[in-house]
Amino acid sequence: MRLPRIVVAGAGMAGLVTAVAAQESGAEVVLLEKGPAPGGSLALSGGTLWCARTVDDLRRLVPRGDVELGRVLVEDFPAGVEWLVALGVSLAPLKTLPDRTVYLMEPGPGAFITHMAERFQSGGGTLLCNSAATELLWSDEGEVSGVCVRINGEARQSIACDRVILTTGGFQANPEMLSRYFGRWSDRLILRSNPRSTGDGWQMAQALNAAPSRAMGSFYGHLLPAPPAQVPTHDFIAYTQYHSEQGVLVNLRGERFTDESLGDETNTQAVARQPEALAVLLYDDTVYRTYAVRLAGGGARASDTFYESQALGAPAAVACSLEELAAAMQAHDLHGSSLLATLREYNQAVQDQRTAGLVIPRRANPNPVSKPPFYALGVTPGITFTLGGLRINTDGQVLDRGGYPIPGLYAAGADAGGIHNERYAGGLCLGLVFGRRAAKHAASH
Ligand SMILES: Cc1cc2nc3c(=O)[nH]c(=O)nc-3n(C[C@H](O)[C@H](O)[C@H](O)COP(=O)(O)OP(=O)(O)OC[C@H]3O[C@@H](n4cnc5c(N)ncnc54)[C@H](O)[C@@H]3O)c2cc1C
């Protein structure tokens, strides 16, 4: 019997997992990578492979995600981890919060990428770099029959196959799509991702009437120092303001606009909707010492997120009184008086233990801005990957607008949308779980 031939488009987290899993299931696999080497955003990541511990935990972490796909994500994650370990991947379990299961790729994502790529190639798989999938081919029988590939930006050739699995990593690097889904200030978003995830998977599948998932207007990202600072691509994590959930965020009017304690990824989307997609992150010396200065760990170097961001050119100020801080930030086009009033009202609410009753409630981390010196840093959203994408079923098959699987077409990783929505519970886990699901189904049906 002829082996099924599968083309996997994109060699990041989802693509590497999918290619190896499809090969294991008996398929002949061609793995395409648009860039010069496999890795994608996985190569830039902290390599923390994590997922909600239980389905109920996922519902709390990501209340608006797809229920059925979310259940599969949580239930399949442990088997995915076991599979990686059996392949020889080094994963160290980490103790963090009780509602999540966390592993760290050791010594880092680079080793994971090398291991998976070598495993794939030594098993007979074909990895083609500088090779971008551009178009899906469709047979007279009404199923996917191949893919057109642009090699080194020039020649086009087609590869015939039985199935195509799209793993191109979402559309965060496509400005036109960003403006369609993220609105007025989308051109201010800083790309906190590999630069090649330009929505190719989405666009190829649209030609076959693929359906959009939910969450098209939502993305995963983190706050980064605002321009004119320019964060070096290889060092995103050192400048990421994960601790915004411990501080106070105000917009250019000097007003709070979100419950900061919901988490930095939620704050990031809230800032994206504010004027100029800009905000000021404020905190006192206690928060600075406890959260803004970070030791090395979790795959990241030690960093002082405030002073290093200031050194990159981000609008920033340190002052011994809130009045001075507000005046200093006025020089960066902030209304000093409203900023001051906002901070005083917030501090009073912390003191009275009624932050949950503020017009913009603060439900957790009620840290006062009370111990000098005080810190203010201009921040703007960095987009890491899009949470909306192609609508899939639990086997990773891409669905058409009538809700039926498109024969021969699959998606995994950030190309498959709706599993998370507004909130997030891991990016790498999506590629692991749905990459394996898509591979198994594609190889056996
Ligand atoms: C700084 C940073 C830190 C992160 N830290 C973590 C973390 O610790 N834990 C976590 O869970 N997540 C983390 N993430 C997110 C995680 O990296 C992504 O969620 C994950 O890599 C997405 O997997 P993917 O396979 O969908 O996309 P990617 O890994 O980005 O891979 C997509 C690949 O497709 C290729 N491609 C694009 N178009 C084409 C085409 N037409 N043809 C062929 N190839 C194509 C791209 O070049 C790329 O190599 C982080 C991301 C960043 C940027």
Please state the atom number of ligand 1 nearest to the C-alpha of residue 41.
30
| pLDDT of residue 202 exceeding 80 | yes
How high does pLDDT run on average in the chain?
Answer: 95
Top CATH class, 219-383? alpha beta
Domain regions of the chain by residue span: 5-215+387-444, 219-383
pLDDT at 234: 86
* C-beta 305 within 6 A of ligand 1: no
- At residue 309, does pLDDT exceed 80? yes
Residue whose C-alpha is closest to residue 425's, from 61, 53, 146, 67 = 61
Residues 222 and 192: beta-carbon distance below 8 Å: yes
pLDDT of residue 26: 94
Q: How confident is the model at residue 366 (pLDDT cuts 50, 70, 90)?
A: very high
Alpha-carbon distance of 85 to 106, in angstroms, equals: 11
CB of 300 sitting under 6 A from ligand 1: no
If pLDDT is split at 50, 70 and 90, which confidence band does 248 have?
very high
Of 152-166, 216-230, 260-274, 424-438, where does mean pLDDT reach its minimum?
A: 152-166
Place of tokens 């794939």: 120
Ligand 1 pocket member 193 (CB < 6 A)? yes
Tell which residue, 184, 362, 335, has the closest CA to residue 259: 362
| Residue nearest to ligand 1 atom 21, measured at CA | 42
Burial (0-12, 13-18, 19+ Cβ within 10 Å), 138: middle
**Which band of pLDDT confidence, cut at 50, 70 and 90, is reported for residue 378?**
very high
Ligand 1 and 133: CB distance under 6 A: yes
From the CB of 434, is ligand 1 less than 6 Å away? no
**Across 229-236, average pLDDT:** 91
- Percent above pLDDT 70 for the chain: 99
Strands 131-138 and 144-151 turn out to be antiparallel
What DSSP line would sit under 48-112, residue for residue?
Answer: EEEEESSHHHHHHHSTTS-HHHHHHHHHHHHHHHHHHHHTT--EEEE---TTEEEEEESS-HHHH
Question: Has residue 336 got a pLDDT over 90?
Answer: no
What pLDDT does residue 226 have?
96
Q: Calculate mean pLDDT across residues 356-368.
A: 96
CB 304 within 8 A of CB 293: yes
Query: What residues contact 280, with CB distance under 8 A and at least 6 apart?
Result: 249, 250, 315, 329, 332, 334, 339, 376, 377, 378, 379
Nearest-atom index, ligand 1, CA of 201: 41
Judged against a pLDDT cut of 90, whether residue 115 lies above it is answered with: yes
Q: Are 166 and 389 in contact (CB under 8 A)?
A: no
Q: What angle do CA 104, 74, 382 make, to 5 degrees?
A: 60
Query: What does the pLDDT read at residue 263?
Result: 94
What does the pLDDT read at residue 297? Answer: 77
Q: What is the pLDDT of residue 95?
A: 86
Record the pTM: 0.94
Specify the residue with its C-alpha closest to ligand 1, atom 9. Answer: 48
C-alpha distances in Å from residue 267, one per residue of 2, 108, 257, 402? 51, 28, 9, 35
Neighbouring residues of 65: CB distance < 8 A, sequence distance ≥ 6: 58, 215, 418, 419, 420, 421, 423, 425
Distance CA 54, CA 35 (A): 36
Q: How confident is the model at residue 1 (pLDDT cuts 50, 70, 90)?
A: low
Q: Summarize pLDDT for 162-184 with one digit per residue, the tens.
A: 999 999 999 999 999 999 999 89
Atom of ligand 1 nearest to the CA of 9: 43
- List CB contacts of 315: < 8 A, sequence separation 6 or more: 226, 280, 329, 332, 377, 378
User: For atom 19 of ligand 1, which residue has the closest CA?
Assistant: 427
CB 420 within 8 A of CB 67: no
pLDDT digits (tens, 9 = 90+) for 409-443: 999 999 999 999 999 999 999 999 999 999 999 99
Q: How does residue 67 score in pLDDT terms, banded at 50, 70 and 90? A: very high
Structure tokens at 83: 């599979």
**Which strands sit side by side in the sheet containing 48-52, from one edge to the other?**
48-52, 100-105, 91-94
Best residue among 30, 51, 168, 305 to mutate for probing ligand 1's pocket (most ligand atoms within 8 Å of CB) is 168
pLDDT at residue 196, rounded to an integer = 98
User: Per residue in 117-139, pLDDT tens?
Assistant: 999 999 999 999 999 999 999 99
Does ligand 1 have an atom closer than 6 angstroms to the CB of 173?
A: no
Q: Do domains 5-215+387-444 and 219-383 have the same CATH topology?
A: no
Mean per-residue pLDDT for 130-153? 95
Q: Which DSSP state fits 289?
A: I
pLDDT at 211 over 80: yes
Query: The domain at 5-215+387-444 falls in which architecture?
Result: 3-Layer(bba) Sandwich (3.50)
33 close to ligand 1 (CB < 6 Angstrom):
yes
Amino acid in the structure at residue 24: E
Q: Is 40 in the pocket of ligand 1 (CB under 6 A)?
A: yes
Per-residue model confidence (pLDDT) at position 154: 80
**Which atom of ligand 1 lies nearest, measured to the CA of 170?**
26
Residue 200 Cβ < 6 Å to ligand 1? yes
Atom of ligand 1 nearest to the CA of 413: 26
Cα separation of 92 and 107, whole Å?
Answer: 9
